[in-house]
Amino acid sequence: MKFSALLLVVAGVVETSNAFVPFAPRAVVTGPLAMNKPFFADSEDTEQVAEAPAEAPAAAEAPAPTAGESSFEDEVEELAQEEIRKLKKASKFKTAGGVEYAPWMNMSADEEDEIRKVMKSKAEARRKRQLEEASASGALIMDSQAQELSGGGLQTKVINGDVELEWTTSSEAATKGFIIKRRAARTEEFEVLASWEDWGPLASKGPQGGSYRYLDSTTTPGGWVYRVTECENSGATNDICQALVDVQTEEEQRGAVIAAVGISVFAIAAVAAGILLDPVGGY
C-alpha cells in the first residue's frame, strides 16, 4: 500500500510539472531561434540607421546644346566650307571624258587654311558687332523723329584710318543742333567729339531737317561706338542714332585685301581656264 501510494504521489507531481511547461512544436525548436532583443538594442539600431550617410545624388548631366546653338568654331568652319565649295566648283571643269582641264588649279591644304583665317576674322568682327549692339540696346531711346537707336540711322565709313559719319533727319521742329560722342568698345563712358555749339555744321538745318556729315580723324585701331545726340530748344537731349565701327590696323587691312584679291583671282582664273580649254564650244 505504501509503495502504491508513493507511485501515485510521484505520478501526480510529474503531471503537475508538465502542466507548467509550454508546448513547442518540433519544427519551431529545430529551426532558427528568434530571440527577442532588449529595448536598448532596438534604439541603437534605429540611431545607426538614421546616422548613416545618405548616398550622394547623381550629378546632373549638362544639357546638350540645342540644334539652334552653334559654337564659334562651327560658325567659322561653316563659312570656310561654303567659300571652299564655291572655289572648287569653279575650278572643276572637265571634258566629256571626265578629265580636268586644269588640275594644277586644285586647292591645296594651305590655301584652305588661309580661307579659314579670313572667315575667322569676319566671324569675329560680326560677333563683336552683335555683342556691342546687344549691350547698347538697353540704353537706347526714341528720338523726336521716332528713330530707334539700333545703328540703322547712322552710316559709317572707314577711309585711311579715319571714320566718316553720316545721318539724316526728316524733321527738326524744335532742334538746336547735334552732339557727336564716342566710346571705346566694351566701355561705358562716352567722350564728346564735337558739338553744335563749337562746330557750325552740326547746328540744325531747319524744321525740314537734312543730312549731316562728320569726319573723325583722331580714332585709333579697335572697336568704337559712335552716338549722335539731338539738343532741343527746351534743353532736353535725345540720342537719335549710334553705330559700332571696327577700325583695322594697316596689316589687317593689307591681309584682308590680299586674301580677297587672291580668292577673286583664283575664281576668275578657273573660269577663264574652263572657257579657253573647252573643246566642245568650238571657240
**Ranges of each domain in the chain:** 131-248
Instruction: Say which amino acid occupies 157.
Output: K
- Residue 283 CA to residue 280 CA, distance in Å, equals 8
Q: 251, 218, 242, 239: which is closest to 156 by C-alpha? A: 242
Sheet holding 155-159, edge to edge: 155-159, 162-168, 211-216
For the whole model, what pTM was predicted?
0.43
DSSP state of 203: B
Q: Which CATH number fits domain 131-248: 1.10.10.60, 2.40.30.10, 3.40.605.10, 2.60.40.10?
A: 2.60.40.10
End-to-end CA distance of the chain: 156
What is residue 266's predicted lDDT score, i.e. its pLDDT? Answer: 65
DSSP H/E element including 125:
helix 109-137
Cα dihedral sign, 23-25-30-36: negative
pLDDT tens digits for range 73-129: 888 888 888 877 777 665 555 656 666 655 555 667 777 788 888 888 888 877 766
The answer to whether the CB of 232 falls within 8 A of the CB of 144 is: yes
19: its cell numbers:
502542466
pLDDT tens digits for range 209-245: 899 999 999 989 989 999 999 999 999 998 888 889 9
pLDDT tens digits for range 12-48: 544 544 444 444 443 443 444 344 444 444 544 444 4
- Residue 229 CA to residue 195 CA, distance in Å, equals 9
